[in-house]
Amino acid sequence: MAKYTLKRFASALVTILFVICVTFLLINSIPGGPWTSDKNPSKATVEALNEKYGLNKPPIVQLGKYLENLAKGDLGVSLKMQKNRPVAEIILEKFPVSAGIGFFALLWSLIAGIFLGSLAALKRGTWADSLIRVVCTVGVSMPSFVIASLLLTAFTGKDGTGGVFPVIFDFSLGFKSYILPCFALGLYSMCYIARQTRASMLDELSKDYIRTARAMGLSSFTVVFSQALKNAVIPVITFMGTDIALVFCGGFVVETVFSVPGLGRYFVQSIQNRDYPVILGTTVFLAAFIILMNFLADVLYKAVDPRIELTKGDR
């Protein structure tokens, strides 16, 4: 296990380094800069600002300096949106909002997805199975901005007032503000989990130990939810490793549509404003979080099924 952990840690460092370099090159290849705005600052002002923040140096020098500061735990400061405020502070402020919505979105999608997938496998070939498959196919096919827009139209009123739920996320309204964003954010996950669970469950139900359980007189419900489910959720864990990170860090589109003051919406705004340190800092945070979740998912494999070997070298 120790050898496996060291390999994953080294791989994580290489992956994050690659993500930083690609992101840095992409944002520097986009026309314009953080000082471009409606005010059109003078050339002298732009040059002074570039010199102050080191943007007048060659890109390779800027990248090297950023990596040096990153090694010290410094993600830089915001250039435009919250000028001179440390990016780490911004992430710490915005992430809990996204994580709160992501937690509830993940919770309902995981419970509903596993239940519906298991039910579809249990009722294979019936109208219930067909209905669940149609709903899941539609759910994974629809873009999140379409789902969010439909929810806004259906439940917030034509003019954004007088509906069942608020059109703009508002902490003062309590859990009512969370319902639509959580549903929109978790729908894809729920549908994907249901499809994965159904396919995996059908495979498990064809195995000998399930036939033995049925021969012992156990009900179909007991066989599915107490015998086969433990092994059937292993493929779901693979998906959850990445999904947890993406959901907890905020759905960029969903947070923008519902005006949620989370990390996802702020990341979109940082791109629009060419706030380079915020873009890089958020990208590094998201990449590291995805890698961590994938590692925890691999460790969870062993908890679910001790027979699984993480690597051949660990034997």
Average pLDDT over residues 67-90: 87
Residue 204 and residue 99: Cα distance in Å, rounded?
34
Specify the pLDDT at position 315.
45
122-172 pLDDT, tens digit each: 888 899 999 999 999 998 888 888 888 888 888 876 545 556 777 788 777
The model's pTM is: 0.77
CA distances from 296 to 19, 132, 245, 300, 305 (A): 21, 30, 11, 6, 14
Residue ranges of the domains in the chain? 87-314
108-124 pLDDT, tens digit each: 999 999 999 988 888 88
Out of 3.40.640.10, 3.40.50.300, 1.10.10.10, 1.10.3720.10, the CATH code matching 87-314 is 1.10.3720.10
Residue 90 and residue 78: Cα distance in Å, rounded?
9
Residue 274 and residue 294: Cα distance in Å, rounded?
30
